Structure 1
Amino acid sequence: MTLLIVGATGTLGRQVARRAIDEGYKVRCLVRSAKRAAFLKEWGAELVRGDLCQPQTLAAALEGVTAVIDAATSRATDSLTIKQVDWEGQVALIQAAKAAGVERFIFFSIIDADKYPEVPLMEIKRCTELFLAESGINYTVLRLAGFMQGLIGQYGIPILEGQPVWVTGESSPVAYMDTLDIAKFAVRALSVPETEKQTFPVVGTRAWSAQEIISLCERLSGKEAKVRRMPINLLRAVRRVARFFQWGWNVADRLAFTEVLASGRPLDGPMDDVYKVFGLEKEQTTTLESYLQEYFGRILKKLKELDYEKTKTKTKKQKTKKTPFKKVNTQ
């Protein structure tokens, strides 16, 4: 089976690629920059140049492909908008996959996307799910809540460095999941007939609020967090101002997602039946406690080693330091 992975250089996509390669799939990755994706080639993937926003590049990438795992999404730093990448680009990919005779299409959506029609990314994900279901392709939709990897920059690093940790509103509890575990579900879906033309929640073992995560980070790091609260009304005002300028559209759409995270409604879903269908064990899923414990343990160990080396070097310099005075012969 030849597998095309879209978005393979991203946080999730690279784990999907790694998992698929390890399980023996012939993996092809659609990339905009071969240089940036060089690590994928080293792993054993074939690189093909292409861009979701350039539909004419997709046919060649899909030639001979049996299945697609689509992990592509716009980034906050992109010049392209959410609409261009997550809607127009995804529609072009689905149409090209159908034309190429692709047998399976795995798509990552967001849990509860249908409950937030006023949030652009959520509404676009909902519409893409519908478009995919109506395309006639044999699909599987995996609805995610959030990545554990994102918590390092949001909480872990600021707490270690004594920088402010920003939270908004009531802070919706989120069932974060390690991208390595999400990759297991995505690749497994290719070989489980029961996942065909189905939609599943794929979320972590429990939902965590911002305050719970901060408390856990404080305990594991031994440092106190400097928590700052951002009024949701201020974010709404910034979003309205950003919408006046074309360069601010992407920022405004991203800020809209804070409405979800500040609503107080959990981003979570039932997983017991999902584990049964996919034939995976819940006990093997990484918990947030173990993920952060490993991160802080590794970082704190490194800091201790650096401090030891610094002290050792300083002591050595002091011992070898020569006196500016000459020895006086007292005989």
Structure 2
Amino acid sequence: MKHTNILLAGATGYLGSYLLKALIENQNQVLAIVRNPKKLKNDNENFLEVKQAKVTKPDTLKDICKGIHTVISTVGITRQKDGLTYMDVDYQANMNLLEEAKKADVKHFVYVSAINGDKYRHLKIFEAKEKFVDALKASGLNYTIVRPNGFFSDMKDFLQMAKSGRVYLFGSGHQKFNPIHGKDLATFIVDNVEETNKELTIGGPDVLSLNEISELALNALNKPIKIIHLPDWMRKLTIWSLRTFISVKTYGTIEFFLTLMADDNIAPTYGHYYLKDYFRKEVNTLKI
């Protein structure tokens, strides 16, 4: 895949920054739309054009897709800020992009959702993402839905817990999943960007239980292995309390993790980056 005109939305995020690099390395012409151009250093003027736009504000996107072959959107809320809801960002901002893509006769729209989003529509974070997935499938455009397992960056919560010398888990801790590094996921997306009208679920090379992830975090910090297993009813009570007493903007991500961590979530394995190495690197660079 060479020299395709690609619009990338979400280029300054965790996944977006790796995607931008991978697309340019493959010599694609990329138009990156960002809220703050200062956040994006343009060292590749031959292959990269940066435009300031806010996907939540449709008037800033007018004719943004002119001459674009493929749109790739990683737009979504991970950690809540700006007072925007999941519906504002994960659904409506992507709809704003989709409308422009349809107007400009874009050939292909790639959207990054998450593993099993279609099965967990009752979760706030997925309600918005999957509403957009439905709209994209019905749009008439060629589409690809990418469904990664958890990101390595999400696993930093285990390191934060491990810092205090112990990790708390709900239930047995035997639940397994295989999170993926942003660089591996970016490579996978670029390699599969011509796969149309498909949903691709993908995870990292290591299938790990929550106990094993906790051990990796404690080992990275040279702490003795102390894992406290809390009864599963406490997990359910926490989800209920979050939904009852806390703003949706705050609880969506926690609700997502607490729900998915109750079961195995294993995706097809892919990639070269291992969580053990990521944790070691994070400890060295962040001194968390």
2:126 paired with 1:122: yes
Q: Report matched runs for 1:155-166 at 5 Å.
A: 155-159=158-162, 161-162=163-164, 165-166=167-168
Residue 237 (structure 1) aligned with residue 241 (structure 2): yes
The superposition leaves residues 183-241 of structure 1 with CA deviations (integer Å, 9 ceiling, x where unpaired) of: 11211223x4xx11111111122432221111223345432255456732134213311
Question: Which string of whole-angstrom CA distances, capped at 9 and with x for unpartnered residues, describes residues 260-280 of structure 1?
Answer: 2332x2222345xxxxxxxxx
- Code of the residue aligned with 1:22 in structure 2: it is E
**Which of 292, 298, 311 in structure 1 is aligned with 2:276?**
292
8 A contact 1:34–1:47 mirrored in 2: yes
Q: Distance in 1 between matches of 2:186 and 2:258?
A: 28
Alignment check: 8 A CA contact 1:59 1:100 kept: no
Equivalence for 1:200? 200
Decide which structure has the larger Cα Rg and report it.
1
Which aligned pairs between 1:41-190 and structure 2 lie closer than 5 A? 41-44=42-45, 45-78=48-81, 79-151=83-155, 153-159=156-162, 161-162=163-164, 165-169=167-171, 172-190=175-193
Alpha-carbon separation, structure 1, partners of 2:282 and 2:207? 25
Length-normalised TM-score, structure 2: 0.85
TM-score between the two structures when normalised by the length of structure 1: 0.75
Question: Aligned partner of 1:96: which letter?
Answer: E
Residue in structure 2 matched with residue 214 of structure 1 by the alignment: 214
Deviation by residue 1:279-306 (Cα, 9 ceiling, x = unmatched): xxx5xx2253xx4236526856998xxx
* Equivalent residue, structure 2, for 1:268: 266
**Partner SS for 1:156:** helix
Deviation at 1:124, TM superposition (A): 2.5
Matching residue of 1:329: none
Equivalent pair of 2:55/2:93 in contact (CA under 8 Å): yes
**Corresponding residue SS for 2:151:** coil
Identity across the alignment (%): 22
Residues 225 and 158 of structure 1: CA distance in aligned 2, closer, same or farther (over 3 Å):
farther
What residue identity is the alignment partner of 1:286?
Answer: H
Partners of 2:242 and 2:255 within 8 A in 1: no
> Which residue number corresponds to residue 250 of structure 2?
251
The one-letter amino acid paired with 2:150 is: G
Q: 1:266 is matched by which residue type in structure 2?
A: D
Does the residue aligned with 1:80 lie in a helix, a strand or coil? coil
Q: 2:40 maps to what in 1?
A: 38
Name the Cα RMSD after superposition.
2.6
Q: How far is the alpha carbon of 1:163 from its aligned partner? A: 5.4
Query: What is the number of residues matched between the two proteins?
Result: 276
| Contact 2:112 2:145 (8 Å CA) reproduced | yes
Which secondary structure does the structure 2 equivalent of 1:62 belong to? coil
State whether residues 239 and 258 of structure 2, in contact with CA within 8 Å, keep that contact through their aligned partners in structure 1. Answer: no
Matched residues in 1 for 2:7 and 2:65: separation? 7
- Residue 224 of structure 1: aligned partner: 224
Gaps spanning 5+ residues in structure 1: where? 243-247, 272-281, 304-331
In structure 2, distance between residues paired with 1:116 and 1:301: 35
SS at match of 1:143: strand
Alpha-carbon distance in structure 1 between the residues aligned to 2:125 and 2:244: 16
Larger helix proportion, structure 1 or 2? 1
How far apart are residue 16 of structure 1 and its match?
0.3
